[in-house]
Amino acid sequence: MSPPSSAPVTRPQTTPTGTSAPDGSNAPSAAALSHIASKIFTRGPLLFRLLQRFRPYICPFEELISHVPAGARILDIGCGGGLWLHLLNTTGRLASGLGFDSSTTAINLAQHASPTEPPPPEPIRTQPRLRFIHLDVRAPWPDETFDVVSIIDVLHHVPPAAQRNVIDLACARVRPGGTLIYKDMCRRPRWRALMNRLHDLILARQWIHYAPIDDVEAWAVSAGMQVERRAFFSRWWYGHELRVFVKRGEP
């Protein structure tokens, strides 16, 4: 199924260190986010800490951050070690953040990360509250809605028969007028998809299942979402497909 022609399309691009946000404002660079991660993840296995520190050079987090408004309540599906929410916290984006993941080890590491507090705006700032819970994506989800729901590099770990249900549940957790951020590894070109498959075989010991991005987009649209942005990013040998959706209706 082809994506709706009325939605804006961002041309494929390579962003090695950072970029500007879609609205033209400055976004943190990959180097800056990597430095933040090194300050947050000071405990736990060395390999885990190194993966968190260098992941911003692989995953275009600065592009994702630009779609999170200040003071947002966010749900992160498949949060892993909590890097995304901790980055949002440190860059001053969150009112609160809830992340869940099926890995008890990852959740334990996320809970024990050392938060780096963002600079408080004048005259006073209410500190964000981060929560991380152990929960499989196929178990019942928290029954509330959020300003932003994110699914970052998760769906390819979900069995194909359950992938649409995950998207449906994610869309249901977005408040009217809120945002769904979907980012996953690419299926095309094949050589980039193969490199990521090898990555997951080595680190996650898992044979992954890519969801066609046109299918993901169609599922989200049928669940009441509207495409706000389409983009492709290449980092090293990895390829990333980004879709940003806004839920129809007034906040």
Query: What is the C-alpha separation between 130 and 127, in angstroms, rounded?
Result: 10
Structural domains of the chain, count? 1
Domain that holds residue 48: 18-114+128-247
Model pLDDT, residue 57: 95
User: Is residue 3 one of the residues assigned to a domain?
Assistant: no
Q: Could you tell me if 85 and 128 are in contact, meaning their C-beta atoms sit under 8 angstroms apart? A: no
Model pLDDT, residue 200: 64
User: Is residue 5 one of the residues assigned to a domain?
Assistant: no
Model pLDDT, residue 146: 98
Beta-bridged to residue 227, according to DSSP, are 245
Query: What is the C-alpha separation between 237 and 245, in angstroms, rounded?
Result: 26
Model pLDDT, residue 171: 98
Q: What is the DSSP letter of 155?
A: G
Query: What is the C-alpha separation between 99 and 134, in angstroms, rounded?
Result: 9
Interacting residues of 213 by C-beta distance below 8 A, sequence separation 6+: 184, 186, 187, 241, 243
Mean pLDDT of each 10-residue bin along the chain, 251 residues long: 38 35 62 94 90 94 94 96 94 92 92 68 55 87 95 93 95 98 89 74 73 96 97 91 92 68
Model pLDDT, residue 13: 38
- What pTM was computed for the model? 0.83
Model pLDDT, residue 67: 96
Q: What is the CATH number of the domain that holds 48?
A: 3.40.50.150
Interacting residues of 222 by C-beta distance below 8 A, sequence separation 6+: none
Local structure of 121: helix, strand or coil? coil
